Structure 1
Amino acid sequence: MPRPQPRMLEVLRTEMVTPNMRRVVFGGQEITTIPEGYEGGYIKLIFPDAPHSTPDRVVMRTYSIRAFDADKGEMAVDFALHGDAGGLATDWAMTVQPGDRILIGGPGSVKMVDPAADWVMLAGDMTAIPALMCNFERLTADTKGYVVIEITSEADKQDLNLPEGIELHWVINPTPEKLEGKLVEQIKALPWLEGQVSVWTACEFDSMRALRSYYRTDRGVGRDQIYLSSYWRAGRTEDQHKVDKQVDSAKAA
């Protein structure tokens, strides 16, 4: 299937969701060409005028669609104000004004937790919260398991509509770029439940690798039961992180 052409979208408004999470709501004429049902999937913000951009290789940053309303012609994207090592996209999100326009690539594939599993493990840091929220909206009332979210401060907690059988753990880490391992520690500390699990976890690269070993080796989670991804790497730009992921995937295979 051919990759969709980038769309020129317009910024409608911005708002601070929490002290370290900023929402940008997009619209414009080409918003109508975005298909429905891709909440939680990724898009590419394209910055042709950024440093190191060339006509053959433009700078892009990857984010998740938090919400899409076709009737209103609006798409919301939440920007964690930590985790983008290059700072390009977060700087843009903090300064952009209604009426500004930007090219958007995608949307890409959507990978969600399986609510039909016996129980679920949903975890991530600030960069994963938009996709986590989309996962929560797909859970059934009888879903059981854990949600573990690393945030920068107490004020970054958001109201979550979770099933009664979900046990929620907030992990406060004011310096996520220093890799203190708090998210990994909290996940490992939780009692492993009986039955088949469905795992969805997205976080920093080195934390992802530690959790991959834990899920697959220590807990025996099968490949078809797990979605595990790194959304960023401390001290690396997105382009560098992409190379790191390719090397790591080759080694893991």
Structure 2
Amino acid sequence: MTIRQLVKPSGPRRVYCFAKRYITPRLLRITVSGDKLLGFPSDSAGAHIKLFFANCQSGNLQLPTRDEQGKIHWPEDKPVTRAYTVRAYRTEQNELDIDFVVHGDSSPASGWAVNAEIGAELGVAGPGGPNPLLAAADWQLLASDLTAVPAISALLQQMSDAQHAEVFIEVDSLDDRHELAHPCNVTVHWLTRIHGDHQQLARALATAKPPATATSVSVFVAGENSAVLACRKQLIGDFGLTKKRLYAIPYWRRGQDEERYHDQRHEIMDEVY
């Protein structure tokens, strides 16, 4: 898997919407650009980024700054922040693709994307996150819902032709199924979510069988909190995996926004296994 070049942390970059298009009915790609984006790492596909949106009360977009000691200073009109994924960055064009799952037009992030016109501004900080995102192994498992499809798409594009992998993606509707570029030894399974069933992805992972030649396994799991925890439990039981080979991160929790879920999410991420 690709190991990104380390970059010095910096404050958020102010960028603008350059283009937008729907990949599926619920997956919207926003392409951003701008002079401040120049120098963004070219090897960052799949990495985590933070997005900054206008303050909900004032409507102003004021970005935090980082001093020489690395301390972050927040403005009076604190922006709304959300964690997202780099889908792709094209250095020559200075264009960054960010995929948004559409769930209404009033939320700070999804709503911004749905309503964004060309020239609409936001802030981007990063990239960051684990490096590499998926540990090297001769057999790999990937599981997610639509929120982590951008990361999975990037990971699949980085795999060699000799790589063996199985991918399980849970969606509310098969209308959101779309072609993912991947090597010939990779199989992608699309599952229609059974509402209220948080074990569906875990059961799917339990059916995966390694090739006869496999001697090691690594896993990437991301998506809704309960589903991720169920998958993590299943994989630890099946393969005895630890964090070194099992990256399981909840992106969101049903019924909670990112502000309410933030602390619990980080507690889960910090757990030892």
The AA in structure 2 aligned to 1:186 is A
Match of 1:126 among 139, 146, 156: 146
Match of 1:67 among 88, 101, 110: 88
| Alignment partner of 1:95 is 2:115 | yes
SS at match of 2:127: coil
The AA in structure 1 aligned to 2:217 is V
Q: Does structure 2 retain, via aligned residues, the 8 Å contact 1:44–1:61?
A: yes
The AA in structure 1 aligned to 2:145 is D
Which stretches of structure 1, 4 residues or longer, exceed 4 Å deviation after superposition?
Answer: 51-54, 249-253
TM-superposed CA distance for 1:221, in Å, is 1.5
Match of 1:29 among 19, 35, 43: 35
Residues 64 and 163 from structure 1, CA distance in 2 versus in 1: closer, same or farther, beyond 3 angstroms?
same
The AA in structure 2 aligned to 1:156 is D
SS at match of 2:158: coil
| Alignment partner of 1:188 is 2:209 | no
The aligned residue for residue 244 of structure 1 is: 264
What's the TM-score once normalised by structure 1's chain length?
A: 0.88
Unaligned runs of 5+ in 1: none
Aligned equivalents of 1:104, 1:251: Cα separation in 2: 28
Aligned equivalents of 2:96, 2:207: Cα separation in 1: 37
Aligned equivalents of 2:247, 2:147: Cα separation in 1: 15
Residues 174 and 45 from structure 1, CA distance in 2 versus in 1: closer, same or farther, beyond 3 angstroms?
farther
Residues 154 and 79 from structure 1, CA distance in 2 versus in 1: closer, same or farther, beyond 3 angstroms?
same
TM-superposed CA distance for 1:200, in Å, is 1.1
The AA in structure 1 aligned to 2:86 is I
Residues 63 and 250 from structure 1, CA distance in 2 versus in 1: closer, same or farther, beyond 3 angstroms?
closer
TM-superposed CA distance for 1:117, in Å, is 1.4
| Alignment partner of 1:220 is 2:237 | no
TM-superposed CA distance for 1:145, in Å, is 2.5
Aligned equivalents of 1:241, 1:111: Cα separation in 2: 25
Number of residue-to-residue matches in the alignment:
248
Aligned equivalents of 1:250, 1:224: Cα separation in 2: 13
TM-superposed CA distance for 1:210, in Å, is 1.2
CA RMSD of aligned residues (A): 2.5
The AA in structure 2 aligned to 1:49 is N
Residue range with higher mean Cα deviation, 57-66 or 135-144 = 57-66
Q: Does structure 2 retain, via aligned residues, the 8 Å contact 1:147–1:168?
A: yes
More helix by share: 1
SS at match of 2:201: helix
SS at match of 1:185: helix
TM-superposed CA distance for 1:56, in Å, is 8.0
Aligned equivalents of 1:184, 1:227: Cα separation in 2: 14
| Alignment partner of 1:171 is 2:177 | no
SS at match of 1:133: helix
Q: Does structure 1 retain, via aligned residues, the 8 Å contact 2:249–2:269?
A: no
What's the TM-score once normalised by structure 2's chain length?
A: 0.82
The aligned residue for residue 223 of structure 2 is: 203
TM-superposed CA distance for 1:41, in Å, is 0.9
Q: Does structure 2 retain, via aligned residues, the 8 Å contact 1:151–1:174?
A: no
Q: Does structure 2 retain, via aligned residues, the 8 Å contact 1:40–1:130?
A: yes
Counterpart mapping for 1:103-114 below 5 A? 103-109=123-129, 110-114=131-135
Residues 81 and 179 from structure 1, CA distance in 2 versus in 1: closer, same or farther, beyond 3 angstroms?
farther
Aligned equivalents of 2:169, 2:178: Cα separation in 1: 10
Match of 1:77 among 89, 98, 108: 98
The superposition leaves residues 138-193 of structure 1 with CA deviations (integer Å, 9 ceiling, x where unpaired) of 11111113111112222211112222222221111275xx4543222211233355
Aligned equivalents of 1:54, 1:152: Cα separation in 2: 38
Q: Does structure 1 retain, via aligned residues, the 8 Å contact 2:138–2:164?
A: yes
Residue range with higher mean Cα deviation, 88-97 or 2-11 = 2-11
